[in-house]
Structure 1
Amino acid sequence: MQVRVQLPSMLRAECGASEMVVEASTVREALDAIRAERPDVYRCVCDERHAVRRHMNVFVNDALVSKAGGLDEPLAEGDELSIYTAVSGG
């Protein structure tokens, strides 16, 4: 199924667009599709262990995906995967 992936502004220069459309049935498959199509974007989102980097957050529609096991969350046709850089301060 097709899933739209919204990219943060810092990755738009790498991708040349604000979004991508990938074929995937889970969050992990969507990230794998990004890796196959745009490895430079994937390396910004995931580390060498294929885990989402600490400073990145992934949402399915409006729900934050857990970094511990949430990558196997199923996706439905028309779902939107959004990638954001984490915001912190102090």
Structure 2
Amino acid sequence: MTTRDLYNVRPTGPAPGPTPLTPDEEQRARGNLFTELGNTIADRGWARFPAYSPEERRRLVAVGRMLSEHWGIPVAVEAEDECAMRLSLRGHELTV
């Protein structure tokens, strides 16, 4: 079979894309982000992480809330641009 033989083939069903995480996968993802981003923030006062979808942004906001509760100090979560979020402690926020 060659590429020429497939000229009349069309995709069926929804377009491929990311599938939502199961509750267990979501918990593990947040736990990993909590550890990695928490360590980075503790070292330098801020961390940047990519967030391309609304789900990823919500996840990072939840991690920021978890870190705030864990440390007892506020962790700011801000959109740095359309592709990244920044989590920071007071004094390390984005300046415009």
Compare the two structures and name the one with the higher strand fraction: 1
Give the TM-score, by structure 1 length. 0.29
Give the TM-score, by structure 2 length. 0.28
Compare the two structures and name the one with the higher helix fraction: 2
Which structure has more relative contact order (CA 8 Å, sep 6+)? It is: 1
Tell which structure's C-alpha radius of gyration is larger.
2
